[in-house]
Amino acid sequence: MTYFPNVDKVLYEGPDSTNMLAFHHYNPEEIINGKTMKEHLRFAVAYWHTMTQDGSDPFGAAVNVRTWLTDDPMETAKNRVTAIFEFLTKIDAPYFCFHDVDIAPEGNSLKEFNRNLDDITDLIKAKMDETGIKLLWNTANMFTNPRFIHGAASSPNAEVFAYAAAQVKKGLELSKKLGGENYVFWGGREGYETLLNTDMKFEQENSARLFHMAIDYAKEIGHQVQFLIEPKPMEPTKHQYDFDAATTMAFLLKYNLDQDFKLNLEANHATLAGHTFEHELNVARNYNALGSIDANQGDVLLGWDTDEFPTDLQAATLAMYEVVENGGIAPGGINFDSKVRRSSFEMDDLFIAHIAGMDTFARGFKAALRLKADGFFDTLKAERYASYQTGIGADILANKMDLKSLEQYALAHDQITNQSSHIEYVKSKLNDYLV
């Protein structure tokens, strides 16, 4: 049984190949600094975009050809397990990620949902054992079902809090069963539409309460997993609580969660927050909280989360530079939270799109390593901040100065000269690394 009869294992054919179903830059077995590219990049496939997304949009019906669909939701779920492992094996991705609702139908009760999850994860586990493919992260979808209309942990309805807690408990049990390396919370509908009826402090306290319960339960069941929060500024709520990396760090520090949580950062969420992706990664890194990456790209001309496969080489390079500076991304990875455009509706497009994303990140990674090896940014920054290496700058850094002594210095040195950044030259030079 094959779902992708047109595709054999995707192989590296080099930059000159015109084969759409081959890698041109990502060579999984290529060794760089003692590790294979596959080990460095830790690519993951998202179950929701690859297996369940149907190509519908607010203006049009489902268009995606997906041969695993049947009239029976459980049969479809089983087909999807076979299909995703065929896909993962052929695309040579070492990891996958899922929401609970992506893999199994909810049925008519929580009991039935849990039973379906048990059955499907039995199949998934067997496939994982057979292929060596691993779970980067899973999460609970606490935003699609109508019960989450006002949020999950932040819902004003305590019954919804309880249901969400049950889903998280199950999610952690599945994570343990499948050896998940991370567990993600993306704040679905945790946010608000208007402050007229919202107690923001209460809602955030309750969110923190659920996170603490998750930490406690993972310890109780003896599951070592890296918890991650995925910031996003808006959509579906007007104001998401985990707005961006800085806001989320403030939340984690305030509620004493920073020792157990890192961040899962998504490129398109950064764009929506008015940041570059590298900004978000840099903020996280400064807090030692760069956990994992949801790789995609948005469209600056469109104000919503378009989740496109990443093909912008400069953006990928600057993102990978942060990863290089971070000493790698493990135990996180690079998860393609990306969906094919509606016009790319054929089954093979799933391969073509992932290849484009993997090639782009492979090129970005190599460019980032060249930038690091040449000390491109290191030199630039060392020169820019050189005034702190000697004289008054060194005294400031050594905490030898105070306002009085600095006033004395300034009175004697008030004819200040600055230097041009020549930033246009820098930007043009950066292009040399991209091609």
Closest approach, Cβ 46 to Co ion, in A, equals: 8
Q: Dihedral sign for Cα 112, 118, 123, 127, please.
A: positive
Two tokens, residue 175: 């994570």
CA distances from 104 to 53, 170, 225 (A): 14, 13, 23
Q: Which residue do the tokens 């007007």 mark?
A: 238
Tell me if 337 contacts Co ion by CB under 5 A: yes
- Contacts of Co ion in 257-286 (CB under 5 A): 266
139 binding partner (options Co ion, ligand XUL, none; Cβ < 5 to 8 Å by kind): ligand XUL
Residue 3 or 183 with smaller CB distance to Co ion = 183
Tell me if 242 contacts Co ion by CB under 5 A: no
Active-site position among 99, 269, 279, 354: 99
Tell me if 307 contacts Co ion by CB under 5 A: no
Start-to-end CA distance of the chain, whole Å, equals 41
Instruction: Specify whether the CB–CB gap between 262 and 253 falls below 8 A.
Output: no
Residue 27 or 167 with smaller CB distance to ligand XUL = 167
Closest approach, Cβ 208 to ligand XUL, in A, equals: 19
Q: Which of 294, 305, 308, 359 binds Co ion (CB under 5 A)?
A: 294
- Which residues have C-beta within 8 Å of that of residue 180, sequence separation ≥ 6? 135, 136, 137, 138, 174, 225
Instruction: Specify whether the CB–CB gap between 116 and 77 falls below 8 A.
Output: yes
Tell me if 266 contacts ligand XUL by CB under 6 A: yes
- Contacts of Co ion in 47-76 (CB under 5 A): none
Q: Dihedral sign for Cα 173, 179, 185, 189, please.
A: negative
Strand 239-240 vs strand 290-295: parallel, antiparallel, or unpaired?
unpaired
The total number of residues written for the chain in this structure:
435
Q: Which of 294, 308, 322, 359 binds ligand XUL (CB under 6 A)?
A: 294
232 binding partner (options Co ion, ligand XUL, none; Cβ < 5 to 8 Å by kind): ligand XUL
- Which residues have C-beta within 8 Å of that of residue 430, sequence separation ≥ 6? 314, 371, 376
Helix (H, G, I), strand (E, B), or coil: what is residue 31? strand
**CA 149/CA 194 separation, integer angstroms:** 14
Strand 182-186 vs strand 134-139: parallel, antiparallel, or unpaired?
parallel
Closest approach, Cβ 305 to ligand XUL, in A, equals: 5
Tell me if 186 contacts ligand XUL by CB under 6 A: yes
- Contacts of Co ion in 130-159 (CB under 5 A): none
Q: Which residue do the tokens 């104001």 mark?
A: 239
**CA 241/CA 56 separation, integer angstroms:** 28
Q: Is 102 a catalytic residue?
A: yes
Helix (H, G, I), strand (E, B), or coil: what is residue 15? coil
Q: Is 305 a catalytic residue?
A: no
- Contacts of ligand XUL in 45-104 (CB under 6 A): 99
Q: Closest-CB residue for ligand XUL? A: 186
Closest approach, Cβ 410 to ligand XUL, in A, equals: 49
Strand 35-36 vs strand 31-32: parallel, antiparallel, or unpaired?
antiparallel
Residue 198 or 268 with smaller CB distance to ligand XUL = 268
230's enclosing H/E stretch is strand 226-230
Query: What character string, x for contact with ligand XUL (CB under 6 A) and - otherwise, covers 226-255?
Result: ----x-x-----------------------
- Contacts of ligand XUL in 94-153 (CB under 6 A): 99, 139
- Encode 192-219: b = buried (16+ Cβ within 10 Å), e = exposed: beeeeebeeeebbebbbebbeebbebbe
Closest approach, Cβ 323 to Co ion, in A, equals: 17
Two tokens, residue 324: 């290089």
Tell me if 190 contacts ligand XUL by CB under 6 A: no
Q: Which of 242, 305, 322, 359 binds ligand XUL (CB under 6 A)?
A: 305
Site size toward ligand XUL, by CB under 6 A: 10
Spatial CA neighbour of 266 closest among 254, 276, 255: 276
Closest approach, Cβ 138 to Co ion, in A, equals: 13
Active-site position among 92, 102, 294, 337: 102
Q: Which stretch binds Co ion (CB under 5 A): 80-88, 159-167, 329-337, 424-432?
A: 329-337
114 binding partner (options Co ion, ligand XUL, none; Cβ < 5 to 8 Å by kind): none
Residue 228 or 367 with smaller CB distance to Co ion = 228
280 binding partner (options Co ion, ligand XUL, none; Cβ < 5 to 8 Å by kind): none
Closest approach, Cβ 181 to ligand XUL, in A, equals: 16
Helices marked H in 273-402: 277-286, 313-325, 347-373, 376-384, 391-397
Tell me if 322 contacts Co ion by CB under 5 A: no
CA distances from 311 to 17, 125, 151, 220, 357 (A): 18, 32, 33, 42, 6
Per CB under 6 A, residues contacting ligand XUL are 99, 139, 184, 186, 230, 232, 266, 294, 305, 337
Tell me the catalytic residues: 99, 102
Per CB under 5 A, residues contacting Co ion are 266, 294, 337
